[in-house]
Structure formats: C-alpha cells, structure tokens
Amino acid sequence: MDGGPGEGDAWADYQRPVPAEESVDGIADAPGQALNGNFNQLAKLKAKHPQLKVLISLGGWSWSTYFSNAARTDASRKAFVASCIDLYLKGNLPGAPGAGAGVFDGVDLDWEWPNWDGEPGNVIRPEDRENFTKLLAEFRRQLDAYGRTTRSHHPLTAFLPANPATMDAGYEGRKIFKYLDFATVQGYDFHGGWETRANQQSALRVPADSPDNPDFSVEVAVDGWIVRGAPRAKLVLGIPYYGRGWTGVTGGGNGLFQPAAGPAPATFEAGYEDYKNLKALADNGYTVHRDLRAGHAWLFDGTTLWTYDDPAVVLQKTLYIRRAGLGGAMIWSLDGDDDNATLTRTIGLGLTTW
C-alpha cells in the first residue's frame, strides 16, 4: 500500500493478475476480478492452510516517518487505527470495498523507533514513549470491538529493538505487553558495512574477544526486554536469512574484528547478501569460521568477510529459544533461504523435536 511518495505498490498488493505459474493454487487470476495480486495469493494460501494467521506489518525502517504524528493525540490515534482496520481487516480497498476482507487477521506495529533515531527524516518526540503505549491500547480496543462482530480474536504484535538504550527511550517495558499477543525482537544488524571493522551481526552471545563494550547480541537483547518486564513467552526471536559483509579486510587471522575498507559487493545492496547465495562461498575460496560459545559463524577469503547464520547457528538459536522459554522464532526474510528451505526446516526441527 502507498506509504508516501515512491513508497508502496498497490499494483503488486492487490491489482496485478498473478499468472498460473506463480499462483499458490496453480490457477491464474482473471484481470479485473475484485482481488488480485499478493493479497489474493495470501487468501489462497490461507484456504490451503486454515490455521494460518496473516498480520499486516505497518512501518519498517523506511516507512516509520510519521508514526509519531499518528500516535500523538487521542483523536489521531483513533483515526489511524480505524483506517487500518477498515483498509486491511475489513478489506475496503480503493475501488473495491470489502474485496480484501479476511486476508489479514491482525496488525503488527514496526515503528522504528519511538523517541529514537531511525531513518533520517523520521519525526521523533520525547512523548513517543508514552504515546506508543497509548497507540497499542487503541489498537487493542478497536481490534477487540471488531472481533466481537467477527467472533474472532485479532492479534496485535510489535517489532522491538535490540539496543537497550532504544528500549529505555521509546518503550514503557512492562505496560506494552498488556496489549500485545507477542513481540518480535531484533536479533540481527548488530554490526554492518556502515562500520569500518568486520564484526558479527547476529551472535547469540557477545564474543569473548569483542572490541566493543558494551556490545550487542541476541542474549543482550532478550535479557534486556525480560529485565524491563517482558513475559518470556511473549518474546519471539528474530533470525536473519541474510549476512552482513565487508571487503578490504586487513590484519590477517580469520578477519573478524579487523579493519575493513567498506561493505562487500553483493547482489542487490552492498554489504547485504541472502543466505542462499552465501552458502556457496565455502566452495569458492572462503573458509567457514565458527565461535561455538558465542553462537555465530562467518566466511573469510583473506579479503572479504561475511557474517551469517548457517544451519548450525540457527539450530543453536532454536535450542536457546526453548531453554529460555521464549515464544518462538521470526525470520527476515523467507526469500533468503535456499530452494530446499534449509534454514526454515532447521527452525522447525529445533523447535518441535528433541
């Protein structure tokens, strides 16, 4: 959906006739039918898997510009929430009232970040911290009211940061979980090509020889939320299906924590590459390195380093999820996995067996 100039893609969302070879059920969309595009494919997927719940995620790194405005007053919160329920849950799409009804079951808030720097240009206010809680309360109130008409529970979730300073600046820890079914915790992007030193982007624990103090890790993020009042069972850990990379790495050794000239060349974005492409590098001049205690892996060829989660790391994280009593795993994003769904199958194995 349109989020501003140059943002959103209504054609892909609900207008594009999807051909048979791309369709969930092998049947092509008919041009001009009430619902086409990705939304119709989600509807078909839910028909095949009746227990599947689909939530619309609002915001993200590049679409959080005006969240502060929407959450600022009681009137703005009421109007914003009502518009989201009307558009996504009731399915009143532009030019096609009710056509999208039933595609989405609930709402995920991905405000990056309340009262904290996100993408340059985002509106930020000190009162964002309290207003985020009030926005959740308004979503919960209206979702419950709508649920009385559908005889369904409509989930409300949120994406939460890994940085303890961001947690304190933007969130009323214990209060927000009163309204949330669960929250997904950022388990990645701890370091990346925006820095001049090759590092880990998603380690389970802070590496013993980390040059950063304090440093980020999955454990730091999860423990940070628990200390601030989050119920363990409502925390879902984010796992990356991509790696972060640097090139021009000097200093020898295994490359980790060494100076780097810049982000590594990649398919779509420098310093960012899908797992499905990184997995082949071990057969093309790269050596796989692993820190079992810290729970992370990286590839290094003497010049370029990629930090990523391979199946061994993913399995280690699923065992951590179970041991810590967390609610489950979230991934970013499904298209980064290989054709055999290796990482996804590993998550399923780790969370449902043993």
Which of 21, 112, 127, 219 does the annotation list as catalytic?
112
Number of other CB atoms surrounding residue 221 within 10 Å: 24
Contacts of 253 (CB under 8 A, 6+ apart): none
Please report the DSSP string for 207-241 in residue order.
Answer: -TT-S-SS---HHHHHHHHHHTT--GGGEEEEEES
Count the neighbouring beta carbons within 10 Å of the beta carbon of residue 205: 18
Q: Between β-strands 242-247 and 235-240, what pairing exists: parallel, antiparallel or unpaired?
A: unpaired
Render 307-334 in DSSP notation, one character per residue.
Answer: EE--HHHHHHHHHHHHHHT--EEEEE-G
10 Å CB burial of residue 333 (0-12, 13-18, 19+) is: exposed
d(CA 261, CA 1): 38
Euclidean distance between CA atoms 132 and 154, whole angstroms: 19
- Are 45 and 109 within 8 A, CB to CB? no
Angle between helices 128-150 and 74-84 (to 10 degrees): 40
Question: Can 112 be counted among the known catalytic residues?
Answer: yes
Q: Tally the C-alpha atoms within 13 A of residue 55's C-alpha that lie toward its C-beta.
A: 21
Say how far apart CA 264 and CA 189 lie, in whole Å. Answer: 15
Question: Kind and range of the H or E element at 110?
Answer: strand 106-110
Catalytic residues: 112
